[in-house]
Amino acid sequence: MERETFVGIDVGTTKVVALIGEVARDGGLTIIGKGIVPASGLRKGIVVNIDQTVHSITAAVEKAERHAGYKIERAFVGVGGQHVEGLNSPGQVAVAGPRREVAQEDVNRSIEVARAVSIPSTREVLHVIPRGYTVDGQEGVMNPLGMSAVRLEVETHIVTASATAVQNLTKCVTAADVRIDELVAAGLASAEAVLSPTERDLGVAVADIGAGTIDLTLFAEGSPFHTAVLPVGGANVTNDVAIGLKTSLHVAEALKVEHGTCDLAGVDPDEVISVTVLGDEAGRTVERLDVCRIIEARMRETFEMIRTEILAAAPGMLPAGLVLTGGGAQLAGAAVLGRDVLEMPVRVAAPVDVGGLVDGLLEPGSATAIGLLLWGARHVAAAELTTYESAPGGGLLARIRAAFRSVFP
């Protein structure tokens, strides 16, 4: 087949995005169907009302199907929420076989040993990602296949999530008549869409600022080594504006988007804006600088939380700095404030090199949804899978599909 079709479903706190994409042999992605609907039944990325969540997913899926004229049967689904965590685990095995050459079986066994780390029964493994191999003491080996060796070691990054949260999300997607091809941590999906290979190799952090949470993933030497989710997001900024100005969340969100900025240096101190106040239909005028001070204070606190997480995990290991994506990254002046607080390079990134129905998609808020399609193209369509994923009905199926494609391309 010249092109293969993938589906990604991003179930977020405030919106559900379903995308249908065709991926060409050269890796080019074309969006042929999209469905974006407001989300209900979720709080900070976690399902709190199954019926409402199923309704939102179903609406997004049906909308995407109408665009594409394509029936969605299975999809890659993003997993978010503060329950998503990462840890690093090593695995070591003796190389089998009379020739003492590393075979795929040896690689698989080393990863299974690393995977055997003690994980509570309340947690479920989403990904076991090999970061690098050591062959008889020689470190920094990325592909040990065929190398002569006695001992093979692997360093893996394991991403886990709350079993209950995963089961509830799985139940909602299944109830929408969609089978799960793979459950993918939202932070890893976003990274697929916005990071360059150079940034991954140098060392970089990517922060997907959603409405309720921030998915933070740190990369070095081409692979992730730290995964965390912070319990704050764009909705916290909106709440602060609503409380500070005594207005509704709807008005506060509009003020944030239209007049807000994190860069106070660029705000005219004499500029005023009209605000509708709760209990007063006439409203009043406020200084724009006051609104921006509220926004700047909350975003500064947010960047300080990111800084604390980065320093605890990787002090001095991120020459490429921080890449901001997600809807919250679209706030004016975010990169300027980020550079001031973190004292490292900061840029705002959106998906690029995507064709088709891209109106409204080539922006930071769509990074996770597009990243899910790219994840499918790179980690399933490729015959040589080096990553082991586990998801209900997904991980094993993905490996079987890859094996068939290697025989029947």
Whether this model's pTM surpasses 0.85: yes
- Ramachandran angles phi, psi of 336, nearest 5°: -60, -50
Per-residue model confidence as pLDDT tens digits over 216-236: 999 999 999 999 999 999 999
Per-residue model confidence as pLDDT tens digits over 195-209: 999 999 999 999 999
Note whether 88 and 19 are within 8 A (CB): no
CATH 3.30.420.40 segments of the chain: 196-348
| Residue 396 pLDDT level (bands cut at 50, 70, 90) | very low
pLDDT in the model for residue 279: 66
Q: Compute the distance between CA of residue 91 and CA of residue 388 in angstroms, rounded to an integer.
A: 14
Q: Compute the distance between CA of residue 191 and CA of residue 298 in angstroms, rounded to an integer.
A: 25
Asked: is 85-159 a CATH 3.40.50.2300 domain? The reply is no
CATH of domain 196-348: 3.30.420.40
Per-residue model confidence as pLDDT tens digits over 348-390: 999 999 999 899 899 999 999 999 999 998 876 543 344 333 3
Note whether 325 and 194 are within 8 A (CB): yes
- Could you tell me the two tokens for 76? 């890659």
The answer on pLDDT for 27 being more than 90 is no
CATH 3.30.1490.110 segments of the chain: 85-159
- Could you tell me the two tokens for 382? 């490729």
Residues of the chain above pLDDT 70, percent: 91
pLDDT in the model for residue 404: 39
| Residue 303 pLDDT level (bands cut at 50, 70, 90) | very high
Per-residue model confidence as pLDDT tens digits over 53-89: 999 999 999 999 999 999 999 999 999 999 999 999 9
| Residue 281 pLDDT level (bands cut at 50, 70, 90) | low
Helices (H), 344-387: 367-379
The answer on pLDDT for 394 being more than 70 is no
The answer on pLDDT for 154 being more than 70 is yes
User: What type of residue sits at position 232?
Assistant: V
| Residue 151 pLDDT level (bands cut at 50, 70, 90) | very high
Per-residue model confidence as pLDDT tens digits over 130-149: 999 999 999 989 999 999 99
- Could you tell me the two tokens for 207? 């922060």
Note whether 48 and 41 are within 8 A (CB): yes
Give the pairing of strands 74-79 and 3-11: parallel
The answer on pLDDT for 215 being more than 80 is yes
| Residue 403 pLDDT level (bands cut at 50, 70, 90) | very low
| Residues 22-51, mean pLDDT to the nearest whole number | 93
